[in-house]
Amino acid sequence: MQIGFDAKRLYNNFTGLGNYSRTLVQNLNHYFPDDSYYLYTPKIRQDIITTPFLNNPAFHTICHPGILKSLWRSSFIKKDLKRDKIDIYHGLSHEIPLNIAKTGIRTVVTIHDIMYLAYPDMYTAIDRTIYKFKFQYACQHADKVIAISECTKQDIIRYLGTPENKIEVIYQAIQPTFYIRQPQEQAKQTIQKYQIPSDFLLYVGAINSRKNLLGIVKALALLPREYQIPLVIIGNGHQYKEEVLKFAAQAHLSNRLILLPNLHDPVELQAFYQQARIFLFPSFYEGFGLPVTEALLSKVPVITSNRSCLPEAGGPDSCYIQPESSEEIA
């Protein structure tokens, strides 16, 4: 079977959507090696986690060389799919090409969340309009819709009116690295490489208002000084990040925050999870909550939100709090 994928995020996103794309395609190739896998992308960022796809003959990467990359991905790509005799096309993140049904190619789309509707203030009016069209079109015209959690499935039914029998819940897979605990000494060496103290709290994720990093810092401010151990923050952000840093300065906590950009090497990320005293993730809304499952596999205690899908991701072994309450987080 010839299977095509929208590989834009696989090659260019190094957080949730990219991790989902890479892990899914790798797992399919592992369990179904006789099928052929075609990765269609408007551009390629070579990195430690994308290079294996370029070097593996099991994957056929098609990169559009022209300037109309968005149009190619949303429509003109059909010509390439027909040329490559694709049997199934999987839109890995919320969209499929327009009128692809006319080609006879069966389609699957993965919906990760309905963020633009659940938290509209985080998006411009134009972006909300574009997302609404893409999501609704994909859910209406795809042969099958994959939701990455039961919570996301219910959101798709509620917000987009998609029939329940068209949606399949398939939880996001975790990168294989996290299933094998690395030696303690190796993990310590990674922490030392980044000059991190031996005792620290950990947050992993984008730095935006939905993820509620400020709630963690406010909780830290409520603790006695002797319990205010360093908080390592792994992730990127802009305006909200400045808001967090401003509060930290006012609360005399600037020296307790250690900020690192996204770590592309999963082995290094696993080391941080393994060495942390507690992992904190009090997000207001998630499609799945991948960092929570990564932390649990790394055997670190988890404090997370009781909202959206996070009880699904955290299971019975996590501590749940109201994300609005810094007192509960503390």
User: Is there a contact between 33 and 66 (Cβ–Cβ < 8 Å)?
Assistant: no
| 131 and 192, same domain (yes or no) | no
Q: Are residues 191 and 310 in the same domain?
A: yes
Q: Let me know whether 55 and 157 are in one domain.
A: yes
Report the pLDDT value the prediction gives residue 26, as an integer from 0 to 100. 96
What are 228-249's pLDDT values in tens digits?
A: 999 999 999 999 999 999 999 9
Beta bridge partners of 60: 38
Domain end among 169, 189, 213: 169
184 shares its domain with 123: no
Q: How many CB atoms lie within 10 A of CB 61?
A: 17
Last residue of a domain, one of 146, 169, 192: 169
Does 241 lie in the same domain as 96?
Answer: no
Express each pLDDT in 252-289 by its tens digit: 999 999 999 999 999 999 999 999 999 999 999 999 99
User: Which CATH number belongs to the domain containing residue 126 in this structure?
Assistant: 3.40.50.2000
Beta strands in 64-215 (DSSP E): 88-91, 106-111, 144-147, 167-169, 201-204
Q: Are residues 237 and 160 in the same domain?
A: no
Looking at the structure of the chain, the number of domains it has is: 2
3-state percent breakdown (helix, strand, coil) of the chain, nearest 5: 45, 20, 35
Provide DSSP, 167-184: EEE-PPPPPGGGGSPPPH
Distance between CA atoms of residues 102 and 104, nearest Å: 5
C-alpha span between 110 and 62 (Å, rounded):
21
Identify the pLDDT of residue 278.
98
Q: Would you state the pLDDT for residue 43?
A: 93
Q: What angle do CA 308, 159, 96 make, to 5 degrees?
A: 100
Tokens of 195: 């000059």
Q: How confident is the model at residue 69 (pLDDT cuts 50, 70, 90)?
A: confident
In angstroms, the CA 208 to CA 315 distance is 25
289 and 186 co-located in one domain:
yes
Q: For residue 37, which of 51, 24, 18, 19 has the smallest C-alpha distance?
A: 24
Give the C-alpha separation, 110 to 139, whole Å.
9
Neighbour tally for 46: CB within 10 Å: 10
Quick one: pLDDT at residue 122?
A: 82
Give the position of tokens 């490489």. Answer: 193
Its pTM stands at 0.92
Neighbours of 198 (CB within 10 A): 11
- Pick from 169, 187, 222: which residue ends a domain? 169
* 56 and 118 belong to one structural domain: yes
- Report DSSP state, residue 119: S
Which of 77-91, 117-131, 290-304 has the lowest average pLDDT? 117-131
- Opening angle at CA 309, ends 18 and 4, nearest 5: 30
pLDDT at 289: 94
Lateral strand order in the sheet of 278-281: 257-260, 231-234, 201-204, 278-281, 302-305, 319-321
Residue 65 pLDDT grade (very low, low, confident, very high; cuts 50, 70, 90) = confident
Q: Which residues contact 271 (CB under 8 A, 6 or more apart)?
A: 182, 186, 187, 188, 190, 191
18-43 pLDDT, tens digit each: 999 999 999 999 999 999 999 999 99
Contacts with 4 (C-beta within 8 Å, 6 or more apart), sequence order: 38, 40, 81, 84, 86, 88, 89, 90, 105
| Domain coverage including residue 46 | 2-169
Element (H, E) at 278: strand 278-281
> What SS3 state is found at 61?
strand
Q: Which two tokens mark 320?
A: 């749940």
Domain check: are 121 and 235 in the same one? no
Can you tell me whether residue 299 is helix, strand or coil?
coil
Query: Does 270 share its domain with 211?
Result: yes
